[in-house]
Structure 1
Amino acid sequence: MVRLDGGTFAMGSDRFYPEEVPVRRVRVDAFWIDETPVTNADFARFVAETGYVTFAELPPDPKQYPGMDPALAHPGSLVFEPTLWPVPLNEVSWWQFRLGANWRQPLGPGSTIIGIEDHPVVHVTHADAEAFARWAGKSLPTEAEHEFASRGGLEDADYAWGDELAPDGAMLANYWQGAFPHGNTLEDGFLRTSPVKSYPANDYGIYDLIGNVWEWTDDWYGQPKLEKKRAGSCCIPENPRGGLRGGSIDKREPVRIPRKVLKGGSHLCAEDYCRRYRPAARYPQPIDTSTCHVGFRCVVRG
């Protein structure tokens, strides 16, 4: 782990997506953070010692999902598959719910983590990440802690390394190059996840906070708001937390699943689709949903 002394920083961005505004000054206390995301090897040790079974390895309970056909209640998880040609980006046709996909079989039956033990573990829900953190004597980071660590001390920079995505053509994170979701030019060498530490650490000595996999935080998703201050007050919010459980849920959905904040973007973020390979980027992930591009890392406070 890497120890960060904490401090005050400008959280958010007003240059990309509406959910990242407003830019506001916040402060976080000192904490330790994992140098890398939790890897397949790390998670395998946890499972071997505890016998833990992840959400994706269990059949869903139809009672929890009104209208679900009980015949379809099989274990599985969401797997990305590139399309063969350009498709409308609002159709999200590149995701498949694949029976048998889980952290042990990241692409479904027949796949394995052998040979990718040093890649981030994926197909984990928020509860799975929490269970690992408790076993390790750690916690999941808050959104503010993750963003503070990701910025590496750079104030108001778009990326974790500065204001250019690929300075002098250098690939500094695992993200999608080319036309999404069919034309990855693989300039960074990876279609899916990459081994941790494949790219340089940020100025705090932390790896993979940008790209590779999205990372769970412990904050409920909500639109950031400026703190109300008394007249003449110079106070800066300390250790801010996210919204209340159940906030910012799409009421059009038949089942209203609470969402937690993901940070950091993933290998599926692209310039023409999802420019969220940035410290300020955030995404609302249903707590019962696992995918092939979401992982986590842990913190210890104090």
Structure 2
Amino acid sequence: MPAGSFVMGDSSGDRHPVDGEVPLHEVALEAFTMDATTVTNDDFARFTSATGYVTEAESFGVSAVFHLAVSAPPQDLGGRSPATPWWIGVRGADWRHPGGRDSSIDDLGTHPVTHVSWHDALAYCDWAGRRLPTEAEWEYAARGGLDRATYPWGDEEVDHGGWRANIWQGTFPTSNTVEDGFATTAPARWFAPNSFGIWQSVGNVWEWCADWFSPNYYRASPREDPRGPATGRGRVMRGGSYLCHASYCNRYRNSARSQNTPDSSMGNAGFRTVGISG
């Protein structure tokens, strides 16, 4: 990614007030390198094979699976949150078994790894000699030089002239028409990259960033290389996922923000890395 500055935050008015996508503010970054894609199952398999690393989902014995993606016996299914009943805690769900113990990644080597926590992503980075991107680095790379644009390709909608990202189609959360070809994850190199060569920064899977999350951070963010607040409860996640839909979660935008606790894992979140020297 070339050195440069950009306007960080939501310019289109699509923001969620609780996410803190405003105020708009200028950010300047030095040049850095970033993975063209999210870390894939094949990438993560090489890491675990070399290190014997056990993910938090494997240690806890449970991870969150979208209800239509479950592939597990009934006795493995746990409770649902009243606020998000489409998520099920599934015993035996992990990065090797994204739908539960009856699923596998045998044909998903080039798909993004999922069911990895922020801690798991950090462990991979340590092994690879890389690090997680800051939230500012992530947004700068996702924009691909298109300042104030809604999406990596501009302001046209995701389905304009053919599908440009992997999101939900149909009626969320009960009926997915799969018009873009994917009910869950797509291969990491699918659709078209942005002008910086970054593939699928929006849609497909949420991506962990290095920063702690605060909805008020933009009010005090420095102009030069912001790194997020010093403390917090959740870590920033960016980009949305295959479950995003305009009727529920229109966070498949360059500026959209979300967060989760660093030990959380789920079937629609992964990560990409940047170079330490960046």
> Normalized against structure 1, the TM-score is what?
0.83
Deviation digits for residues 268-301 of structure 1 (CA, Å, limit 9, x no counterpart):
0001000000110110111111000000000013
Q: Which runs of 4+ in 1 moved over 6 A?
A: none
For these two proteins, the number of residue pairs brought into alignment is: 261
SS of residue matched to 1:32: coil
Q: Aligned AA for 1:129?
A: A
Equivalent residue, structure 1, for 2:77: none
Q: Take 2:9 and 2:160, find their aligned partners in 1: how far apart are those partners?
A: 26
Q: Aligned AA for 1:55?
A: E
Equivalent residue, structure 2, for 1:299: 274
Q: Take 1:298 and 1:41, find their aligned partners in 2: how far apart are those partners?
A: 15
Equivalent residue, structure 2, for 1:288: 263
Percent identity for Structure 1 against Structure 2: 47
Which of 210, 217, 225 matches 2:218?
Answer: 225
Q: Is 1:56–1:101's contact at 8 Å kept on the other side of the alignment? A: yes
Equivalent residue, structure 2, for 1:13: 10
Computing the radius of gyration from Cα coordinates, the structure with the larger value is: 1
2:44 maps to 1:58: no
Show structure 1 runs of 5+ residues with no match: 60-74, 84-88, 229-235, 247-257
Q: State the Cα RMSD in Å.
A: 1.7
Show structure 2 runs of 5+ residues with no match: 70-80
SS of residue matched to 1:225: helix
SS of residue matched to 2:131: coil
Q: Take 1:200 and 1:42, find their aligned partners in 2: how far apart are those partners?
A: 21
SS of residue matched to 1:103: coil
> Normalized against structure 2, the TM-score is what?
0.90
Q: Take 1:127 and 1:23, find their aligned partners in 2: how far apart are those partners?
A: 30
Q: Take 1:262 and 1:166, find their aligned partners in 2: how far apart are those partners?
A: 20
SS of residue matched to 1:27: strand
2:251 maps to 1:259: no
Deviation digits for residues 32-52 of structure 1 (CA, Å, limit 9, x no counterpart):
000100000000000000000
Q: Is 2:208–2:236's contact at 8 Å kept on the other side of the alignment? A: yes
Q: Is 2:209–2:235's contact at 8 Å kept on the other side of the alignment? A: yes
Equivalent residue, structure 1, for 2:66: 80
Equivalent residue, structure 2, for 1:208: 200
The Cα of 1:90 is off from its aligned counterpart by 7.5
2:209 maps to 1:240: no
